């Protein structure tokens, strides 16, 4: 038997269970399972990763201190490889991985003793024992135990009654109790975090001034909420406190206040539990003390809406609220606070006014919609919620997506300190087609849930550009909706009513205006209101997205920005080519160079890629034109191209781009161009053709062909390959009738 080096209690070893967290251990083992969970260990920094710090415990074992366990941002740590640090072992997993926790004590002098954890010895022992002081382990009296405590620590008395009283030194680094913590104010009626941290010298005073502890929680003074003291061992003060905003706390140091807001994080230190609470004005850390290293208010965690009473203190130049009572709000009380926070956040995110890039009647009619989508993006950034832009792998999709990227990235940089935040809080993911189907939604849901589980990330806001405007995307949207992920849409088609109800905000033209604009034009106008600082960068983007009949206002804007007609064409063609290759990749830097390259004239990057575009497209067009089958149905000419037989299916250009170009070149000769493959059919026409109606009418003649409208946005039908010939003949007849 030995004696605890802190309190003198007889124990097997050198430390009792109560005070094991007050000492630091030096590990001499070589296996992860030899570590003891909850102990603090001395370690050395091995290296950094984007998700945390690797720390060597001893010579042969390495653990991960995840960024979510830190009391500060990862990039603000001033640790270098090889630096000595102090961490807590939280879990040793079956696969040998070690989860480490943050220690607020980062100096050996801040611990109350140092022990060696040597599995070969079977027990921890004082480091002095190893150096020849064999009598140290045999000492049982309190005086000998106190001499074993490292220099600078404040040992407790061996009195058993004092052994259960937290020492003030245990929490000195976590909560600033001020100079008067040994004296309870006459008007106090409960044991506060200050009272609980009082040492044995002030215990009698605290006991005399405080009311007996009550096991029953006290009701809050308003709203019918139930409040409990920091440790759950006393009732909250009955003194009336005023509800104030967090931004006003700087002028209220020393006052008792009431806050209402949402808990952004809750972390356990070696002393108090620290809750970060945010209201409609700001956020502040609130320390709640039950017992050194013991979780206060375990029922309250991140995202809970709470009412908190406490005293405002200043600690190391930062404001902190010492919590006296904390309660989770429910029902109407919760909704009231959430609505207040939401309204304040929306007001902060909302653009002051909508000022289109140029005079444009289509855009002028969508100003409120532009404001709504811009607000949703700005708000997501303020909420530290990732923004994911989903756009088609076309020139229009890429240009529109990059316009939003150009506007949002600077806001993300301003909101987050870490250098790689722009890769974590903004993502642009191209879609193969203009439909957001279950395959795409499943990938997105999997990624966002994994990020939430592993890194505690909030669910993202998804913004769809040149995609998703028709009801073929409903299944994908509904999956996101089930998880509560935000959705916004920017498209140049008449959005189906079901889609408009499913997304939170949308910008899309009326049916008659769809041909007079592009998704990029609308997205660029949204981007200018997401971030007015990049407005000048966006001036040429709308012109880039028009393949023909560019509105004069956008031509002039591009010219003013340094892009004449030839330069605009080169950029458009270069983006269209690069959009095809690795179409599932955002190619952020490459597309940025093409769209915003300085001095990129003939022979520059865009000019060079544009030459490749023209050569490849012209070669395919020549082959396709030689094999166009023009059929005349009751005076209406329809051109048909067998894309399986007369195109290189897996080489540039894509089928959609090839058919678009064929239609532009032959619109004066034929009323429609149809591309047919083994089980797909695409329709291009200047006349409005409703592919859903085409599918419905054709299905009456080929009921067993599985004929469906795959994408009303892209004019695409699908069917069973075995019925290809019957489907083609029927669709030609129906289309000829519709465009006649």
Which residue is listed with tokens 């920094």?
45
Tens digit of each residue's pLDDT (9 = 90 or more) over 517-526: 999 999 999 9
Q: Answer yes or no: are the C-beta atoms of 604 and 568 closer than 8 Å.
A: no
Q: Answer yes or no: are the C-beta atoms of 499 and 475 closer than 8 Å.
A: no
Q: Any residues with CB less than 8 A from the CB of 341 and at least 6 apart, and which?
A: 261, 262, 278, 279, 280
**Residue 514 falls within a domain, yes or no?**
yes
Tens digit of each residue's pLDDT (9 = 90 or more) over 475-488: 999 999 999 999 99
**Boundary of a domain, candidates 315, 331, 347:** 331
Mean pLDDT of 363-386: 95
Exposed, middle or buried by CB within 10 Å (0-12, 13-18, 19+), for 224?
exposed
Q: Any residues with CB less than 8 A from the CB of 559 and at least 6 apart, and which?
A: none
**Residue 495 falls within a domain, yes or no?**
yes
Alpha carbon distance 679, 705 (integer Å): 10
* Same domain membership, residue 524 and residue 596: yes
Q: Answer yes or no: are the C-beta atoms of 54 and 96 closer than 8 Å.
A: no
Mean pLDDT of 221-232: 43
Alpha carbon distance 262, 301 (integer Å): 10
**Residue 501 falls within a domain, yes or no?**
yes
Q: 21: closest CA among 120, 127, 128, 101? A: 101
* Same domain membership, residue 637 and residue 604: no
Alpha carbon distance 386, 370 (integer Å): 20
CATH code for the domain of 260: 2.40.50.140
* Same domain membership, residue 638 and residue 602: no
Structure tokens belonging to residue 371:
């404001």
Alpha carbon distance 665, 99 (integer Å): 64
* Same domain membership, residue 492 and residue 421: yes
Q: 717: closest CA among 673, 682, 672? A: 682
**Residue 180 falls within a domain, yes or no?**
no
Structure tokens belonging to residue 20:
């094991």
For the chain, the domain total comes to: 4
Can you give the pLDDT at residue 225? 40
* Same domain membership, residue 91 and residue 233: no
* Same domain membership, residue 664 and residue 534: no
* Same domain membership, residue 274 and residue 135: no
358, pLDDT greater than 80: yes
* Same domain membership, residue 280 and residue 144: no
Q: What is the domain range of residue 12? A: 2-163
Q: CB 347: neighbour CB atoms within 10 A? A: 11
Q: 311: closest CA among 289, 291, 331, 294? A: 289
Tens digit of each residue's pLDDT (9 = 90 or more) over 128-148: 555 444 443 334 333 334 334
* Same domain membership, residue 146 and residue 12: yes
Can you give the pLDDT at residue 200? 34
For 153-167, 403-417, 711-725, which range has the lowest pLDDT when averaged over its residues?
A: 153-167
Q: Answer yes or no: are the C-beta atoms of 104 and 292 closer than 8 Å.
A: no
Regarding predicted confidence, which is higher, 263 or 189?
Answer: 263
Tens digit of each residue's pLDDT (9 = 90 or more) over 67-88: 888 877 787 788 888 899 999 9
155 DSSP 8-state letter: P
Can you give the pLDDT at residue 122? 65
Structure tokens belonging to residue 319:
């404001």
172, pLDDT greater than 70: no
Q: Answer yes or no: are the C-beta atoms of 267 and 328 closer than 8 Å.
A: no
Can you give the pLDDT at residue 414? 92
Can you give the pLDDT at residue 113? 83
- Phi and psi (nearest 5°) for 605? -60, -55
Task: Give the 3-state secondary structure of residue 194.
Answer: helix
Which residue is listed with tokens 């393949």?
547
């Amino acid at each position: 038997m030995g004696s605890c080096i802190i309190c003198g209690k007889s124990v097997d070893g050198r430390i009792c269970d109560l005070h094991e967290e007050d000492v630091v251990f030096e590990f001499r083992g070589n296996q992860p399972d030899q570590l003891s969970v909850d102990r603090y260990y001395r370690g050395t920094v091995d290296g950094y990763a984007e998700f945390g710090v690797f720390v060597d415990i001893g010579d042969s074992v390495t653990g991960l201190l995840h960024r979510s366990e830190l009391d500060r941002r990862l990039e603000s740590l001033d640790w270098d490889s090889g630096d000595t640090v102090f961490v807590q072992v939280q879990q040793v997993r079956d696969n040998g991985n070690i989860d480490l926790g943050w220690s607020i004590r980062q100096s050996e002098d801040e611990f109350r003793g140092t022990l060696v954890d040597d599995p070969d010895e079977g027990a921890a022992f004082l480091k002095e024992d190893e150096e020849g002081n064999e009598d140290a382990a045999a000492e049982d009296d309190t005086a000998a135990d106190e001499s074993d405590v490292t220099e600078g620590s404040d040992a407790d008395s061996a009195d058993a009654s004092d052994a259960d009283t937290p020492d003030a030194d245990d929490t000195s680094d976590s909560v600033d109790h001020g100079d008067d913590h040994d004296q309870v104010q006459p008007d106090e009626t409960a044991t506060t975090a200050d009272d609980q941290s009082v040492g044995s010298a002030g215990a009698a005073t605290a006991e005399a001034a405080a009311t007996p502890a009550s096991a029953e929680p006290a009701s809050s003074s308003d709203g019918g909420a139930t409040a409990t003291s920091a440790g759950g061992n006393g009732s909250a003060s009955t003194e009336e406190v005023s509800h104030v905003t967090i931004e006003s706390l700087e002028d209220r140091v020393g006052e008792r206040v009431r806050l209402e807001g949402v808990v952004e994080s809750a972390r356990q230190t070696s002393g108090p539990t620290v809750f970060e609470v945010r209201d409609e004005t700001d956020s502040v850390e609130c320390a709640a003390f039950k017992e050194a290293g013991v979780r206060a208010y375990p029922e309250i965690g991140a995202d809970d809406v709470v009412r908190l009473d406490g005293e405002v203190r200043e600690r190391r130049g930062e404001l902190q609220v010492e919590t006296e009572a904390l309660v989770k709000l429910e029902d109407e009380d919760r909704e009231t606070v959430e609505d207040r926070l939401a309204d304040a956040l929306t007001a902060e995110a909302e653009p002051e006014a909508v000022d289109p890039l140029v005079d444009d009647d289509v855009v002028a009619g969508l100003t409120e919609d532009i404001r709504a989508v811009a607000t949703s993006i700005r708000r997501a950034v303020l909420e530290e919620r990732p923004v994911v832009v989903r756009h088609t792998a076309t020139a229009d999709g890429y240009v529109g997506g990059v316009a939003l990227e150009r506007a949002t990235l600077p806001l993300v940089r301003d909101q987050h300190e870490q250098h790689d935040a722009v890769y974590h809080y903004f993502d642009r993911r191209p879609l193969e087609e203009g439909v957001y189907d279950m395959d795409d939604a499943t990938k997105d849901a999997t990624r966002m849930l994994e990020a939430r589980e592993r890194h505690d990330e909030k669910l993202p806001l998804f913004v769809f550009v040149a995609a998703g405007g028709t009801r073929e995307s409903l299944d994908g949207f509904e999956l996101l909706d089930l998880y509560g992920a935000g959705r916004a849409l920017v498209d140049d088609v008449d959005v189906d009513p079901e889609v408009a109800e499913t997304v939170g905000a949308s910008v899309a033209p009326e049916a008659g205006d769809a041909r007079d604009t592009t998704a990029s034009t609308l997205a660029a106008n949204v981007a200018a209101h997401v971030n007015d600082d990049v407005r000048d960068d966006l001036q040429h983007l709308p012109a880039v997205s028009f393949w023909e009949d560019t509105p004069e206002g956008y031509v002039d804007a591009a010219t003013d920005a340094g892009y004449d007609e030839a330069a605009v064409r080169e950029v458009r063609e270069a983006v269209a080519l690069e959009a095809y290759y690795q179409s599932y990749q955002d190619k952020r830097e490459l597309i940025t160079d093409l769209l915003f390259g300085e001095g990129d004239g003939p022979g520059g990057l865009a000019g060079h890629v544009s030459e490749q575009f023209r050569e490849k497209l012209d070669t395919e067009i020549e082959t396709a034109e030689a094999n166009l089958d023009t059929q005349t149905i009751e005076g209406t000419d329809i051109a048909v191209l067998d894309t399986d037989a007369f195109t290189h299916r897996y080489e540039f250009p894509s089928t959609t781009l090839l058919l678009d170009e064929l239609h532009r070149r032959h619109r004066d000769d034929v009323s429609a161009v149809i591309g047919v493959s083994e089980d797909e059919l695409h329709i291009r026409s200047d006349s409005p053709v409703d592919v859903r109606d085409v599918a419905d009418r054709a299905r009456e003649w080929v009921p067993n062909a599985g004929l469906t409208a795959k994408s009303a946005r892209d004019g695409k039908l699908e069917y069973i390959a075995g019925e290809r010939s019957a489907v083609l003949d029927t669709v030609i007849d129906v289309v000829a009738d519709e465009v006649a």
